[in-house]
Amino acid sequence: MSHSEWALAIMTSLWWSSQSSQFVALLIAAVAAHVYLRRRARRQSLPPGPNGVPFLGNIFQITPTIWLEFTKWQKEYGDIFYVNLLGRDVVVLNTHRTATDLLDRRSRIYSDRMRNIVASEILTGGLLMVLGRWDDQWKRMKKAAHDGMTRTKARQLHPTQITEALFLLSDLLETPDAWGAHVRKSTSLLIFNLVYGHSTQNSVALSAVPRINQFATRLLRALYPGAHLVEFFPWMIYFPSWMAKWKRDAERWFKEDSAMYEELYSGVEAQVAEGGVPSSFASLIIEQQHVHRLSHLQASWLAGTMYAAGAETTSAVLAWFILAMVIYPDVQRRAQEEIDVVVGRTRVPTFEDYNRMPYIRAVVKEALRWQPAAPLGTPHRLIEDDWYEGYLIPKGAMVIPNVWSMNRDPNVYGPDAHEFNPSRHLTSDGRFAKAPDHTKQEGHASYGFGHRLCVGRHVANDAIFINAASILWAFVLEGVPGPDGCPVIPSPEAVVTSGSVMRPASFKCLFNPRFEDVPDVLEAAQELHGIRRGDRP
């Protein structure tokens, strides 16, 4: 080849190379423009929401009391808005109507849960129903839980609830300064006995409750946003256990907790086999275990789930009730007037008084509404793209019901929605008013939505009722006098959170017996129910 031919070949090669580079550059630019335009169109289709930062989204705007920030954003962006958390789509629902439209009426596609690697997949082996994915195992466990927690079967648990209410009154009489610890212990033993049917005289309950409480604490910590990087970087799950302490610890706790729950469940099985076992959630599950096609491990964890889901939230609601009685003495006096008319002072309240005490029942509804123990409902996950009022809700989005905003909506509850006012649930003649739309006759949104609606709500309502009625029958609740002699009124804005549960910050409160015969009447009631104060510490 001549020099001129070599030169022509090189020039031709350079020209094609230049054209190829230009083509590649144009192709890349076209793809980038296409992606940008699609994302822009998608963002314009999403609900409005606050601006974030590139890649990280709104993560820096998340606070421990994020429900308050969400409620502020509602005023700016509307009843449904969008946020981005490290690339994850999050849609927040702020009204009863939007939650009902999506989570109830479209529950088929809104009932899944977000993936939670540590708390759900490792720490609880995918067996914790409240975090379970929308699959066959979850549906079987939910059906079993629903069948074991019907309103009729909840009534079978009334004797246990009365027993624990009487124990709580005795504790409050003896050491009222420790009321917070008494409420926690009482609700823990109550839920334990409702689940497993062990008598409070049984040492099994006293030894098992602290262990289950430790499990609940670990679970709430694992659920706290940002607790584990693996939730944001799922590839970290492939780290071998020996080099990932978070994974090693979670695997160890799952084995130990599974052994504990199976041991407790097997204890109930043995009692059922012997006959005469007290009615409990576990005994009801055992009777129908073959119908629901649950393995021993699944049934054991289902029973444990009922405890973990109920103990902390029930004690939080009772703490809020006590705070409300201190802050709103007029409400307390009106409730006690009803108790005096219906119950009197020669016996303690029972469930036979339930239908004749609408104001106490309204107090219970208001305690659940005013300061919801879970101000943000557990997030749902959408399994396919959906459109709502012109907005795109993308497949895989985390959908959060802002229960706080729903329960405080002035358009539903009036301009005093931020106040504790049981009368909002009653008519002018003292009868129950029609509950607000989309609240399932509960008067609030605290029990959730759709297929994820709390299966234990009937039991919870009964437990709060009998404890609230008993406390108000026995005591006048007041703030502790300050240096000036006036009662110190605790603030409802001072809160503590553990995972998804909110309770009032610790506060002092006086429990003054309402009349001289309270100890004697209480002792007679305990004898009637076969209770002795020495039966437990």
Q: Binding site for heme: which residues? A: 454
Question: Is the distance from CB of 301 to CB of 144 less than 8 angstroms?
Answer: no
Distance CA 346, CA 340 (A): 10
Binding-site residues, please? 454
Question: Is the distance from CB of 183 to CB of 513 less than 8 angstroms?
Answer: no
Question: Is the distance from CB of 190 to CB of 164 less than 8 angstroms?
Answer: yes
Coil, helix or strand at residue 460: helix
Q: Which residues of 247-260 are buried (b: 16+ CB within 10 A; e: fewer)?
A: bebbeebbeebbeb
Distance CA 321, CA 333 (A): 14
Residue pointed to by tokens 């939910």 = 142
Distance CA 377, CA 400 (A): 6
Q: Report the run of H or E that residue 479 belongs to, with start and end.
A: strand 475-479
Paired sense of beta strands 88-93 and 398-401, if any: parallel
Give φ, ψ of 531 to 5 degrees: -105, 135
Q: According to the 3-state scheme, what is the secondary structure of 271-285?
A: HHHHCCCCCCHHHHH
Distance CA 257, CA 218 (A): 11
Coil, helix or strand at residue 279: coil
Q: Report the run of H or E that residue 153 belongs to, with start and end.
A: helix 151-155
Coil, helix or strand at residue 294: coil
Residue type, 78: G
